[in-house]
Structures are given as structure tokens and as C-alpha cells.
Amino acid sequence: MKIYTKTGDKGTTALFGGTRVPKHHIRIDSYGTVDELNSHIGLIRDQKVDNITKNTLINIQDKLFTVGAVLATDPEKAILKNGEKRLNIPTINIEDIELLEKEIDKMNESLPPMTHFVLPGGHQTVSFCHIARCVCRRAERLATALHEITPFEEFTLQYLNRLSDYLFVLARKLSHDLKADEIEWIPKKNS
């Protein structure tokens, strides 16, 4: 498999199914941002984190490839006229979302209740989580905009929404594990 094909030299790229679109198309921006998120998740996984977290992050990275595949698929080319799937594209399902929810609940059990927003930071690993959370929110915004134009299964949107929650709670858990300061944001009153 050659890395360079030269087919995108004029500013277009192919979706799954063969349709060519401009490289600035919202569909490309959506799955490109998911790819960026996946790289940030890899950065978190490369830190000193426990094995449960590491394995969960590997699972998330796998699911993000699925999200990317969903977003990179031309919906008109994915289904045959008789309703059968033409392309063998995996999908996100409710079990994928429930896994994130289960992990969020487990992490929350050991954390003090949150009474205020917290400032991102405190430790490099925690900061990586906050950056990934922000990229995840951007991916979600782009995916929802794409969904308004060309709908796709909603579990994909739900997964991105739940993943940003997971990353926030993971940041709090890692702050706790690493004994990093978790600084609450308390709005200052005007004097």
C-alpha cells in the first residue's frame, strides 16, 4: 500500500464509497477532528496510568476509528436501494456508550463531590485529559453540524458526548491519583 496516491493534490479527497469532496468539507473536518482526538487519547495512554485506564483508552481508540469510519462514509453509497448495507462499516452501539458510563461511575465513586468547575491543569497528564476533552467537544460540535445536513446513526453522537464526560472524570481521577491540586473556579465578585 503506497502512502501517497496524488489523488488529493487538487484539494479533494475520497469518502468511503468513492465520492470525492473538497478537503475542507464538514465531513472531512468531522472525522479529521476525531482522528486528532484519537492522537490525544494515545498521548494520555502513554502516561503512567493504571492498567484499567490504559485498556479503556485502547478500547476508546478502537471506537474512535469506528466513529471516523461512520463520519467518512457517503451515506448515499452505504446502503443499496433494497436497504441492505453496501459497505461493511462498523457502528457504535448502546453497549459502547454504557461501557463509558460504567467507567465514569466507577471513577466517580472514589472522588470527592464536585461543587464548582475546576481549572484545567495541576499535572501534565491531567492537562492532556483536558485537552482531549476539548478536542472531543469540538468533534462533537462538528459531528452534530454534519448530522443536521446528512443524518447518521445517533449512537455516534451519543458516544462523543459521553466520551467528553469520561475524559473530564478521568482528569479528576488522575488529579486524585497523582495528588495534583484541583483548583476550583470560584467567580470573583466585582468590586
CATH number at residue 27: 1.20.1200.10
What's the whole-number average pLDDT of the chain?
87
Q: How far apart are CA 7 and CA 177, in angstroms?
A: 48
pTM above 0.85, yes or no: yes
Least confident range of 33-42, 48-57, 69-78, 103-112? 69-78
Q: What was the pLDDT predicted at 79?
A: 59
Q: How confident is the model at residue 82 (pLDDT cuts 50, 70, 90)?
A: low
8 lies in some domain = no
Query: Which domain range does residue 46 map to?
Result: 14-110+118-179
Torsion of CA 54, 58, 61, 63, to 10 degrees: -120
